[in-house]
Structures are given as structure tokens and as C-alpha cells.
Amino acid sequence: MTHLLSISDLKYEELTQLLDMASELKEKRGMGADADLLKNMSLGMIFEKASTRTRVSFEVAMTELGGHALYLNTEDLQLGRSETICDTAQVLSRYIHAITARVYSHETVQELARCADIPVINALSDLEHPCQLLADLLTIREQKSILDGLRIAWIGDGNNVCNSLILASAIVGMELVVACPAGYEPNSYILAQARDLGCDVTITHDPTKAAEGADVLYTDVWVSMGDEEEEEKRLQDLAGFQINTGLLEHAKPDCIVLHCLPAHRGQEITGEVLDGPHSVVLDQAENRLHAQKALLLWMMGNER
Ligand code: CP
Ligand code: NVA
């Protein structure tokens, strides 16, 4: 049985196969060919945190594949009244066929995976957001035809999405430059893991240097879910790390701009860039659906 807790749980060949499957599912969406592939199968979606894209795209993916998705807010589960994670995982394994979980602590999703008899998918933790990266790679590949050798610049907080981008870059051979303020560097264990994989990752405190010659500029919120208490300090510390037209001028003329969304116009990115011609954020959001369909088929044992 396979879990997806980290994007690094996928080897290059598996990742490529999933992206190929996602492209095909996207092309054939609505034609009915996939309508029964997960018939009578159920996905439990545990959420400790808010979500728009992840929740809706997983739910629609299950519906379109002929299965069913259950939204399980931790507040409404006995988990929220101190039933253990392990008991929850074991009991859910008797009813459903896979679990997605969006959690504060990465250890929670690890514990679910340890105890469950069914696949567990990390739908975002404080450490990683692997499902986001599946959609991101699909989007980059659609726009640029290749992944290997592209230059990606991450501008802002070295957060969970950044951590998964680092590992994904290592797996597919993209050159990555992360520009963040001192104290906001990505997780050191992730950096070491990526370097072991041969990743060409550079950390800088200079956003202009990072953006120079970039094929892709990528950013995310300055205040992630769980960081709300640090909001004031974060807004000050990250103020120079915005994607705006000035920064875009340093990138390649055909540079694309990614943001996993939700976005805060005027903070990590200006409205002009987010809503401008370089931005592909809506394709990126749409691709969550196609990439996760491929993932669900792969994990729930119905590979085509
Ligand atoms: N990008 C992303 O995961 O969005 P949601 O928080 O809306 O799921
Ligand atoms: N880094 C953000 C991503 C939201 C999709 C967070 O964790 O809140």
C-alpha cells in the first residue's frame, strides 16, 4: 500500500506517469470514459484547517470517477473530543478506501498513515503540500513542455509549499532559487533531503537575484494557516519579497507566475501581476482536479 505524505514519496517515473495520466484525464473530462473507475469507493477527507481548492477538487474528483467523498471536519469527529488518531485511522479503514488529511502537524498525517490499512494522502501539513505540487508540475509542463532544466524562483516564506517545491524540483531536475528573509528559510531537513537527491537549490535573501532569468516565479501567502499569531511580524519581515511588475522584469520575457492560492493582493503579489498576462494561477487551481484524479486512481488501485 502506498501513502503520499511527501512529494518525495514519488519517484521520477511515478511522478511522470501521474502527470501523463492527469493530462489524459483533463483532455477526456466529461466524455464519460472514467465515470465508473472508482464506483462504490469512498474517500474520507479529514480537515483540521480551512480549504477551498483541495476540498472541492478532491470531492469533485471522486464524484466524476463514480465514487463518493466524505468531508470530515475534525470538530465534528470524535477525534476533536480526544479519540486517538490511531483509533480513528483503524476504524475509518473498515469503512472507506482512502483518507486525505489536512493537518496542523505533519506528525498527525504520519500517525494516520502508520495506523491506517488504506492509503493516506497529505492534503497539506505544516511541512508539505504534495498535492499542490502535482498540479504545479502539470501546469508548468503544459506551459513550458518540459520540466528538466527550467529555472524556478520562489519568492517569500520558505513554507510548506516551498518545501514540497524543493523536493519536486530535485525529483524532476528543475533549478530552484528560493528568496526569503533571514529566519524564513525552508526546512533544513527538506533542504538536506533535496541535496541528497542532487537538487540544484540556492537560498538567497535577494529576490531580484532569484528572479533573474527565471522561467517560473512562484509565491504563496506570508501568513500560513497556523501562523496567524505572527501576522504583524511576518508582514513586516516579508515586505520586500513581493512579486510585482518590477520583479517580473528580471525574469525571462515568457516567464509564468504561479500562486497556489488563496492570494493576498498587495502583500506577496500585486493584483496587477496576479491578474496579468504572465499569471497561470487559474489553470494551476483547475489542475488540482486533474492531478488528484490521477492520484486517486493510482492510490485506490484502479490504474488504467
Ligand atoms: N492551494 C490550496 O491548497 O488551496 P485551499 O487551501 O483552498 O485548499
Ligand atoms: N502555505 C499556505 C498554503 C495554503 C494553501 C498555508 O499553509 O496556509
User: What does 205-238 look like in DSSP terms, one character per residue?
Assistant: S-HHHHHTT-SEEEE--SS-TT-GGGHHHHHHHT
- In tens, the pLDDT along 127-154 reads 999 999 999 999 999 999 999 999 999 9
pLDDT class of 250 with cuts at 50, 70, 90? very high
Is 295 a member of any domain?
A: yes
Q: Is 220 a catalytic residue?
A: yes
Q: Judge whether 171 and 197 are in contact, CB under 8 Å.
A: yes
Which of 100, 105, 124, 229 gets mutated to test ligand 2 (max ligand atoms within 8 A of its CB)?
124
Is 2 a member of any domain?
A: no
Nearest ligand atom owner, CA of 289: 1
161 shares a domain with 276: yes
217 shares a domain with 106: no
Nearest ligand atom owner, CA of 260: 1
Residue 52, CA distances (Å) to 57, 155, 193 in order: 8, 23, 30
298 shares a domain with 237: no
186 alpha carbon – ligand 2 mean position (Å)? 14
Sign of CA dihedral 150, 155, 159, 161: negative
Q: Is 68 a catalytic residue?
A: no
Please give the average per-residue pLDDT across 191-195, as a whole number.
95
Is 151 a member of any domain?
A: yes
231 shares a domain with 158: yes
Is 1 a member of any domain?
A: no
Reference 136, options 104, 157, 160; nearest CA is 160
The CATH number covering residue 215 comes to: 3.40.50.1370
pLDDT class of 199 with cuts at 50, 70, 90? confident
Report d(CA 54, CA 169) in Å as an integer: 22
pLDDT at 301 (0 to 100): 74
Residue for grid cell 522584469? 249
Percent share of the chain, pLDDT over 90: 95
pLDDT class of 200 with cuts at 50, 70, 90? confident
Report d(CA 171, CA 112) in Å as an integer: 25
Residue 1 has pLDDT above 80, yes or no: no
157 shares a domain with 266: yes
Q: Judge whether 46 and 103 are in contact, CB under 8 Å.
A: yes
Residue 13 has pLDDT above 50, yes or no: yes
Please give the tally of structural domains in the chain: 2
Question: Could you say which of 131, 199, 255, 260 is catalytic?
Answer: 260
295 shares a domain with 271: no
Edge to edge, what strands does the sheet with 216-219 contain?
A: 201-204, 175-179, 151-155, 216-219, 256-259
131 alpha carbon – ligand 1 mean position (Å)? 10
Q: Confirm or reject: Cβ of 56 under 6 Å from ligand 1.
A: no
Reference 273, options 235, 247, 236; nearest CA is 247
Is 42 a member of any domain?
A: yes
Question: Could you say which of 53, 55, 97, 102 is catalytic?
Answer: 102
Residue 218 has pLDDT above 50, yes or no: yes
143 shares a domain with 107: no
Is 120 a member of any domain?
A: yes
Residue 213 has pLDDT above 80, yes or no: yes
158 shares a domain with 116: no
Q: Is 162 a catalytic residue?
A: no
226 shares a domain with 91: no
pLDDT class of 304 with cuts at 50, 70, 90? very low
38 shares a domain with 110: yes
Determine the atom of ligand 1 nearest the C-alpha atom of 129: 3
Q: Is 236 a catalytic residue?
A: no
pLDDT at 303 (0 to 100): 36
Report d(CA 224, CA 161) in Å as an integer: 10
- In tens, the pLDDT along 75-107 reads 999 998 999 999 999 999 999 999 999 999 999
Is 57 a member of any domain?
A: yes
Report d(CA 232, CA 250) in Å as an integer: 29
256 shares a domain with 145: yes
- Widest CA span of the chain, in angstroms? 55
Please give the average per-residue pLDDT across 166-190, as a whole number.
97
Residue 68 has pLDDT above 70, yes or no: yes
pLDDT class of 280 with cuts at 50, 70, 90? very high
Please give the average per-residue pLDDT across 186-212, as a whole number.
95
Determine the atom of ligand 1 nearest the C-alpha atom of 50: 6
Question: Could you say which of 3, 220, 242, 267 is catalytic?
Answer: 220
Q: Confirm or reject: Cβ of 225 under 6 Å from ligand 1.
A: no
Upper half-sphere CA count for residue 80 (Cβ side, 13 Å): 11
Domain of 262 in residue numbering reads as: 132-284
Edge to edge, what strands does the sheet with 120-122 contain?
A: 68-73, 42-47, 98-102, 120-122
Q: Is 260 a catalytic residue?
A: yes
C-alpha cell at 118: 488504506
Residue 302 has pLDDT above 90, yes or no: no
91 shares a domain with 164: no
